[in-house]
Amino acid sequence: MHDSLDERYSRQMLFAAIGEDGQRRLLASSVVIVGCGAIGAAAAGLLVRAGVGRVRILDRDFVEPSNLQRQTLFDEADALAALPKAAAAERKLRAVNSSISIEGLVADLSSQNAAELLSGFDLILDGTDNFETRLLINDFAVSSRRPWIYAAAVASYGLTLTIRPGSTPCLACLLDSCPNGHGIDATCDTVGVLGPVVSLVASLEVAEALKLLSGHPEALHHRLLSCDVWTGRFQSVRVAQNPACRACARREFTYLSGQSQPHITLCGRDSVQIHERSRSLDLAALRHRLAPTVSDLRHNDFLLSFRVDPYQMTVFADGRAILKGTKDPAVARSLYARYIGA
Ligand SMILES: [Zn+2]
């Protein structure tokens, strides 16, 4: 191994289970992280520092001031510029470790692009904030027999489960066995979230990733770990495989085939995302056209954002838009048609 790399990873290689062989395996491995919010950003930082050779970060959103309390990769300048999280994360992480490949993609994972965006990676990590996307990842992972790690946090509570298709239960098995459990209905936008639980869950997730990628699957704990940093309660539960599971038993991949994918989705409190049409927008021309009629117009290479009171609209170069200030798909569609065009 190269001398400077020896130095960089020396403390990790001193850990007996990893050693020089494990470090070589990490450097030869690849991970795709779906979602770069609090958990995704913390996990990305840990993986990049550990020397995972290729890291891809997918995220559909941009940095806002309310992210800074817990999303440790981002700063005030990113929020002021409304930079996409994937782009801001790539820039920050390249400054942390220039010897590996880091790629931030501004994209919304869907049934149409899942195979293209997730294929070719040794492991998929969950950094998302919703079950639609998680079940899509689960469908892709089970159908292509790739491991992935589920991770979630809300309020002071978090949980994680490592899924290895073929040898463990999958996320659909877990959700079927406890449909109303695990704070699934609550979101960070309604009950908030503490920074410490996010860091804790990301750490548990990445520790499992390091075992898998360094060649130690025998060290995986195969349990659903949950923790509450406020009450101090930690739990470790064995999840049962569902012999009638839609995904891993019947192999009905309804999320991957697009049967479960809506064109308009709620994202967060009082926000709607429109991704009905995939098309290429000329953001410079759009900015020119909108300038006389909208307020607070901001743009960068990836997106255009503006206010039409009481709404805030953000349009991405691929035609996708996020509307804040409404939960009503009809209002969102009408605003999109009026300001962006049908
Ligand atoms: Zn299953």
Alpha helices in the chain (DSSP H): 3-8, 10-14, 19-27, 38-50, 76-80, 85-96, 114-118, 131-144, 171-177, 188-191, 195-213, 283-290, 329-339
What's the pLDDT tens digit per position in 80-105? 998 999 999 999 999 999 999 999 99
Q: Among positive and negative, which fits the CA dihedral 297, 300, 304, 305?
A: negative
- 5 Cα: distance to centroid of ligand 1 (angstroms): 40
The pLDDT score that the predictor gives to residue 266 is 67
Q: How much distance in Å is there from the Cα of 121 to the middle of ligand 1?
A: 21
Q: Compute the distance between CA of residue 74 and CA of residue 68 in angstroms, rounded to an integer.
A: 6
Which residues, at least 6 apart from 279, have a Cβ–Cβ distance to it below 8 Å? 318, 319
Question: How far is ligand 1, taken at its centre, from the CA of residue 165, in Å?
Answer: 8
Q: Which residues are catalytic?
A: 188
Per-residue 3-state assignment (H helix, E strand, C coil) for 18-44: CHHHHHHHHHCCEEEEECCCHHHHHHH
pLDDT along the chain (342 residues), means of 10: 78 96 98 96 98 97 92 94 95 97 94 95 95 94 98 95 96 76 57 94 98 97 95 95 95 88 67 76 88 89 89 88 85 84 72
Strands 123-126 and 101-106: unpaired
- The predicted-structure confidence for 262-285, as pLDDT tens digits, reads as follows 667 766 668 888 876 667 888 888
Centre of ligand 1 from the C-alpha of residue 253, in Å:
11
Q: Which tens digits make up the pLDDT trace of 140-162? A: 999 999 999 999 999 999 999 99
